[in-house]
A and B are shown apart, each in its own frame.
Chain A
Amino acid sequence: MGMVPRSVSAWCYAALLAVLALAPFLFEWMEQPFYLDLLSRGLILAIAVISLNLILGYGGMVSLGHAAYIGIGAYCVGIPAYYDLYNGWLHLALALGVSGLFALVTGAVSLRTKGVYFIMITMAFSQMVYFIFLSLEEYGADDGLVIYARSEFPEWMSMDGATSLYYWIFILMLLSLFLINRLVHARFGRVIVGSKFNEPRMQALGFDTYRYRLACYVISAMLCSLAGMLLGNFAGFISPDMISWARSGELIFMVIIGGVASIFGPLIGTLAFVVLEEGLSAITVYWHLIFGIMLVALVLFGKGGIHGWLSMLDRKRVEHD
C-alpha cells in the first residue's frame, strides 16, 4: 500500500486534506480571517459527525442524542474553568471520562432496544442532559457560561491564538479519521458491521453482539466529547442549547449528506453543511426552506451522499480503463 492515491475520490480527499492543512496561511493571504473561524467550527463538528458515523453508519445504531456528548465535553471545560481550573489535561480527562461513563450507562439501556425505540430512547437521554444543564443555575442555566481562557497545555501544544487552536482541531480530526479507519477494518469493526446487517446471524456465529455494540457506542461518545471540548474552547461560551435534540438531528443530516459508512463522508458532509448554511443564510432569511428542500432531494435521489457520487467517478474510470 503506497501513499499515492489510486482513485478519483482518493485524489479529492488528499487534495482536501492538503487544503485544510494549509488553510490558516491560505486565509491569511486572502485576508479573510473569518473563514478560519468558519472552518474551525466546521472541523469541530466534523469530529462529532465522524464519531456519530461509527455507530450510525457502520453500526446501524441511529442515535438522535449524540449532541449530548458535545455538551458534556464542553461543560467539562466550562465548569472547571468557572472554578479557575484551566489545566487542559484535566479538561481532557474529564471529557473522556464523563462521556464514557454516561455512554456506558445509557448505552447499556438503549441498546436493549432496536430501530425507532433506539432513536427515541437516545433522544430522551440527551434531553435529560439538556434539562440537567438547563437547571444548573450556578452555571448560568439557559444563559450559558462564558469561558474566559482556553484549556492550558504545555507551550509547544498551546491552544492560544486562532491558528494554534485550528491545528489542534485539524490534528484531532485527522486522528479521528485514522482511528475510525483502523477500527472498522479490524476484527472489532467486522463484528460491528456484521451486526448492522444481520445480528441474529452474528450471534449464531458466537459473537455477543450486545457487548460489541455497547463498546462501539462508548468509543463513539468519547470521541464526540473531544469535539465538545474543542467547541467550548473555540466558542468561549457554552449553553444547554448545544445539546438540544435539533442539534443531534443536524449531526445525522451531516452524516447522510457526506455518505454513511464511509471514512471521509462525515468530513465532507459536515463541511458541505456548514458552507451551505453560511452561504444560504447570507442570501436570504428563508434559507431554512431552501436548505430543507435540498436535504429532502438529497435523501430521495442522492443515495450514498457526496462520497457516493465521488465513488461513482471511480467506477466510471475503471470502466474506461
Chain B
Amino acid sequence: MTEHLLQVSSLNKHFGGIYATDDVNLAVEQGKIHAIIGPNGAGKTTLLAQLSGQIKPDSGDIEFGGKSIIHYSMARRAREGLARSFQITSVVMPMTLLQNVMLAVQGTGGHSFRFWAPVSDDREMRDAAMASLAEVGLDDRADRVAANVSHGEQRQLEVAMALAMKPRMLLLDEPMAGMGKEEGAMMVEILNRLRGDKTILLVEHDMDAVFSLADKLSVLVDGHIIATDTVEAIRNNLEVQRAYLGDSHA
C-alpha cells in the first residue's frame, strides 16, 4: 500500500447548470509531485479552491493525512499543513518581501494575540523567513517592497510564503503563470529542488514544465478527471491528446 497524503473522493460542485467539479476522485502520494492539467475552464482552480477551503463543495469528501478536513475553514486547513499559492499573485503589496514571508512564518507559530513585542525584533522568525526567501533565490531582495519587484519575483515570493508555512503539502496554482522563459526555468528548478521533500499538487499550463516535474498526472476536462497516470502513459494516451494537447499544440 502506498500512503496517500491527500485523498479526494466523489467531489462535486456545480454553479447553476455548470458542473465545475464532477465526481472527482484523486489521491496524492506522500512526497510526490502530482500535476493536474486540462484546458481552460476545466475547473482546475475551482478544484484547488475546494481543497484549500475557499469554496465549499456540494458533496464528497477530502481527507488530509487520514482525517476529513471537509468542514475546516481555510485558515484551519492552512494550520493543518495544507498551503496554497495563488494563480493571480496574492501577496501583501505594500509590505516588503521579508515582511510578507514573516507573516507566513507567524501563521505557523500559534495564535497572534500578542500585542507588545515588535515583530522586527523577532530574530527566530526573521531567520526562518530569510531561509524561505533563500530557497527561492530572493534573499538578496528581502527588503524590497512587494509591489516594486517583477512579476516573476512576486511569483517566487508566493512560493516562498507557501514554503515558510512549513506545510505537509503544497497546492500550487499555476506558479509559472505570466512568466518569461528564464523565470519559468528558474521556477522549475526551485520546484525540482523540493522533490521528495514536499508533497505537491501542481496545476500548470506550461506543458514542458509539467512533463519535467510531475511524477503523476491527472487530466481534468469539464470538471471530470478523465485519466490519471504516469507522465509517459498520459503522453501516449490518445483521448488526452484530443481533449487537451490537441488544443494547445495545434
Q: How far is the CB of B173 from chain A (nearest CB, A)?
A: 11
Chain B's nearest CB lies how many Å from the CB of A6? 16
Contact A190 B99 (CB under 8 A): yes
A73 and B139 CA atoms in complex are apart in Å by 49
Distance between Cα atoms of A240 and B155 in the complex (Å): 53
Residue of A nearest to B81 (CB): A206
Residues of B within 8 A of A (CB): 52, 54, 73-76, 78-79, 83-84, 86, 90-95, 99, 102-104, 106-108, 112-120, 161, 165
| 11 cross-chain CB contacts under 8 A | A187-B112, A188-B113, A194-B95, A194-B103, A197-B94, A204-B75, A204-B83, A205-B75, A205-B103, A206-B165, A207-B107
Instruction: Give per-residue flags for A180-196: 1 if the beta carbon is below 8 A from chain B beta carbons, else 0.
Output: 00110111111101100
Bound: A203/B77 CA distance, A: 10
Instruction: Check B115–A183 contact: CB distance below 8 A.
Output: yes
Within 8 A of B (CB), among A196-225: 197-198, 200-209, 212, 215
Q: A202, B54: Cβ atoms under 8 Å?
A: no
For B119, give its contact among A185, A206, A208 (CB under 8 Å): A185
A201 engages B115 (CB within 8 Å):
no
Residues in A neighbouring B102, C-beta threshold 8 A? 190
| With A198-B92, A206-B75 as contacts: A185 and B161 at CB distance below 8 Å | no
The chain A residue sitting closest to B108, CB to CB, is A206
- A193 cross-chain contacts in B, Cβ below 8 A: 92, 95
> Which single residue of chain A is at the shortest CB-CB distance from B110?
A187
Closest to B125 in A: A187
Closest to A188 in B: B115
Residues of A with C-beta under 8 A to B108 = 206
Whether B112 pairs with A191 at a CB distance below 8 angstroms is yes
Q: Once the chains are docked, how many angstroms separate the CA of A215 from the CA of B115? A: 11
Partner of B161, one of A188, A189, A205: A205
Question: Which one of A194, A203, A205 lies within 8 Å of B165 (CB-CB)?
Answer: A205
Neighbouring A residues of B73 by C-beta, 8 Å:
203, 208
Q: A201-B91, A205-B107 are in contact. Are A186 and B116 (CB under 8 A)?
A: yes
- In the complex the two chains form, is B118's CB within 8 Å of A186's CB? yes
A207 contacts B120, C-beta separation under 8 Å: no
Q: How far apart are B188's CB and chain A's nearest CB, in angstroms?
A: 23
Number of interface residues of A (CB under 8 A): 25
Residues of B within 8 A of A183 (CB): 115
Are B106 and A190 in contact (CB-based, < 8 A)? yes
Cβ of B121 to closest chain A Cβ, rounded Å: 9
A203–B52 alpha-carbon span in the complex (Å): 10
Q: Are B90 and A206 in contact (CB under 8 A)?
A: no
A203, A205, A215: residue with the most chain B Cβ atoms closer than 10 Å: A205
**Assuming the A-B contacts A194-B95, A197-B92, are A207 and B75 also in contact, with contact meaning beta carbons closer than 8 angstroms in the complex?**
yes
The interface residues of chain B lying within 8 Å CB-to-CB of A189 are 119
Separation of A37 and B127 alpha carbons in the complex (Å): 51
Q: A261 — nearest CB in chain B belongs to which residue?
A: B94
The reply to whether B107 and A186 contact each other, CB–CB distance below 8 Å, is no
Q: What B residues does A215 contact at CB under 8 A?
A: 113
Complex contact B103–A190 (CB within 8 A): yes
Q: Which residue of A lies closest to B122 (CB)?
A: A187
**Smallest CB–CB gap between B201 and chain A, Å?**
15
Q: How far is the CB of A258 from chain B (nearest CB, A)?
A: 19
Cβ contacts under 8 Å, A190 to chain B = 99, 102-103, 106, 112, 119
Taking A187-B119, A190-B119 as known contacts, 9 extra A-B pairs with beta carbons closer than 8 A to each other, sorted by chain A number, are: A182-B115, A183-B115, A190-B103, A190-B106, A194-B103, A197-B94, A197-B95, A201-B91, A205-B165
Partner of B112, one of A182, A185, A198, A212: A212
Measured in the bound complex, the distance between the Cα atoms of B74 and A98 in whole Å is 33
Report how far A200 CA is from B49 CA in the complex, Å: 11
Q: Is the CB of A200 within 8 A of B54?
A: yes
What is the CB-to-nearest-CB distance from B110 to chain A, in angstroms, rounded to a whole number? 9
Residues in A117-134 with C-beta less than 8 Å from chain B: none
A205–B73 alpha-carbon span in the complex (Å): 12
A204-B84 in contact (CB<8A) = yes
Q: Chain A's nearest CB lies how many Å from the CB of B125?
A: 9
The answer to whether B86 and A207 have CB atoms under 8 Å apart is: no
Cα-based distance from A191 to B75 in the complex (angstroms) = 13
- For the complex, give the distance between the alpha carbons of A215 and B76 in Å: 19
Tell me the complex Cα distance, A147–B86, Å: 58
> Are A203 and B75 interface neighbours, CB within 8 A?
yes
- A188/B120 in contact, CB under 8 A: no
Q: Which of B52, B103, B114 contacts A188 (CB 8 A)?
A: B114
Q: Residues of B contacting A208 with CB < 8 Å? A: 73, 75-76
